[in-house]
Structure 1
């Protein structure tokens, strides 16, 4: 039995293009820092990065893109928590 190809709705295609622009772009990392992620996440990211063959894209660059977007998206909440914690220190 032949598997039917599933057509993606336009909205999903637009989201995919946006995802690629946001996260799958190479990042120049001028200073390396060691961070730890789970083995499972590393395996998934390694497979993703190698399968798309985007020149210059690395696991570290992908992670940097995700973190940059997360920090920007949640800037107000992060700043609120930071100020609250700093004010309650003593």
Structure 2
């Protein structure tokens, strides 16, 4: 908000930095070969998960722009618990 950027910019930087840190972690632990031995279905699900995570951050930063950081952060952290409670069958 204070930088005056659109939500895409901070989300892009956040995801790019995370990708670099994850890649460095995999490289340092020499687990790159294990990554290529994963089934294609698992790799596709991981890719889909990454795309959804980027969307999640985009929506979060857009929510901050529209409603303020306090409301967006509270909703961001409470919403998963609400979804679990909705999904509980008694």
Pick the TM interval, shorter chain. Answer: 0.3 to 0.5
Give the TM-score, by structure 1 length. Answer: 0.32
Between structure 1 and structure 2, the one with the greater Rg is 1
Give the TM-score, by structure 2 length. Answer: 0.32
Q: Which has the higher contact order (CA 8 A, sep 6+)?
A: 2
